[in-house]
Amino acid sequence: MIIYKNETKDSNSHGKIALCTTNTEDCFCISQILQENDKINSKTTRKVSFDGGKTQKKIKISLEIQLESFSADLEHGILYLKGKVSKENEFVSLGSYHTLNIEIEQKFTIEKNNWTSFELKLLKDATKISPEVLFLIFYENTCNFMSFGNSQNKVISKCDVNKKNFKPILNTLLLHINNYKTNVVVSCFKTAEQFCVYAYKQNKIELNFIQLSSDLKNAPASKIVSKVILNPAYKEIFANCKYYKDILECKKYLNKIKEGNEKTFLGFKELKEAFDYGAIENLFITDILYRPSSLEKRKVIERLINEALSFRAKIFVVPVENEVGEELDKLGGIAGTLSFTYK
């Protein structure tokens, strides 16, 4: 989340906040604070008639609506905000209905008569959440930029590899580098090492380099990342990354399951029993289950997470695009450990 301007003085006060979402998680955050009668302002596209209706053109205009209802596509990070136009505009009638489609990285403004402390804290916390590791995965002809963290793994950019011109890859790196705690180059090709030297000479950028075995030269980016972060030889590189620690904790849990440890549970039914006895200690959930595309399903999961937190349980969200998360997914996607046995 990026907040450009905050005109609120404190909670229970009127004010506007100009902001934009930067990922799908931010989209859910916004859906938690939107209320009927909030005023939303953003750029939108409208068909406008000219020459007495003879010609029509699509133009971008700034539009403000008074919110009546909303929905969200959490898979793609789009908010659909419906309401009546509340501010005069030469192209749109005051009081007419319009739906603003707010996409990731699209700037918009929320105006409320009374901002609550909960709403302001949600926004503030969302600005602090960011992925932790940027992987540059060099294949023979392509470099994949993969974001790891915030319980997600995803390729965010791709560049062609040209031994004689590393500038496009360096420019892409410079666009993202400040958003990550750690930057890691992984490859089994010499061009990756050559790029590390080039990046240092050009911009004094020091990159962690991990040499891959040749059997991974064509492996999917997610598999490469999974192999690297679970390799004890590289634990110092990822030691300060929360989501790395989450995956390791889940791996320990899976080992307990295999050992037949009594202080473990699997699935929603056994989770409910753990809640009934107040015995939940740790909760492991896959990112797919934690982040369904449906807003209503996400609210159900959020209530479940909040109930676990009320027992002071620790929550671990594990990406399915990782061999540990894949194993958890096969077990139903949700599981955990107990603080005491009750059976």
pLDDT digits (tens, 9 = 90+) for 100-159: 999 988 999 999 999 998 899 889 988 886 668 899 999 999 999 998 876 567 888 999
Mean pLDDT in residue range 79-87: 95
Strand-pair partners of 285? 317, 334
How far lies 178's CA from each of 95, 96, 159, 195, in Å? Answer: 44, 43, 19, 18
Which among 51-60, 88-97, 116-125, 191-200 has the top mean pLDDT?
A: 191-200
Q: Check if the beta carbon of residue 271 is closer than 8 Å to that of residue 283.
A: yes
**Average pLDDT over the chain, rounded to whole?**
90
pLDDT bracket for residue 52 (50, 70, 90) = low
> Please, are residues 48 and 56 in contact by the beta-carbon 8 Å criterion?
yes
Q: Dmax over Cα atoms in the chain, in whole Å?
A: 79
The CATH class that applies to domain 2-127 reads mainly beta
Q: What is the pLDDT of residue 334?
A: 96
Task: Say if residue 211's pLDDT is above 90.
Answer: yes
Domain 133-238 in this protein, CATH class: alpha beta
Cβ-count burial of 190 within 10 angstroms (0-12 exposed, 13-18 middle, 19+ buried)?
Answer: exposed
Q: How far apart are CA 35 and CA 85, in angstroms?
A: 16
Q: Report, as an integer, the average pLDDT of 212-228.
A: 89
The per-residue b/e assignment along 31-61, b for 16 or more CB within 10 angstroms, e otherwise, is bebbeeebbbbbebeeeeeeeeeeeeeeeee
Q: For residue 221, what is the DSSP state? A: H
Per-residue pLDDT at 150: 65
Q: Is residue 162's pLDDT more than 70?
A: yes
**Residue bearing the bigger pLDDT, 59 or 86:** 86
Q: Which CATH number fits domain 242-338: 3.40.50.10540, 3.30.1330.30, 1.10.260.40, 3.20.20.480?
A: 3.30.1330.30
The pTM score is 0.71
Tell me what pLDDT residue 50 has: 72
Instruction: Assess whether pLDDT exceeds 90 at residue 47.
Output: no
Q: Do domains 2-127 and 242-338 have the same CATH topology?
A: no
Neighbour tally for 253: CB within 10 Å: 21
> With contact defined as beta carbons under 8 Å apart, do 199 and 193 qualify?
no
pLDDT: which is higher, 136 or 319: 136
Q: What is the enclosing helix (H) or strand (E) of 121? A: helix 117-128
Q: Note the pLDDT of residue 111.
A: 96
Range ranked top by mean pLDDT from 53-57, 193-197, 286-290, 296-300: 193-197
Higher pLDDT, 312 or 129: 312
**Using CA atoms, how far apart are residues 248 and 224, in angstroms rounded to an integer?**
16
For residue 306, name the pLDDT band (cuts at 50, 70, 90).
very high
What six digits make up the tokens of 46?
A: 């409208």
Domains of the chain: which residue ranges? Answer: 2-127, 133-238, 242-338
Percent of the chain with pLDDT over 90: 62
- pLDDT at res. 183: 93
Using DSSP's 3-state secondary structure scheme, residue 101 falls into: strand
Give one DSSP letter per residue of 154-173, joined into a string. EEEEEEE--TT--HHHHHHH
Integer angstrom CA distances of residue 67 from 39, 60, 207: 6, 20, 47
Exposure on the CB side of residue 236, measured as CA atoms within 13 A? 4
Contact 242, 148 (CB under 8 A): no
- pLDDT tops 90 at residue 10: no
Pairing label, strands 280-286, 182-187? unpaired
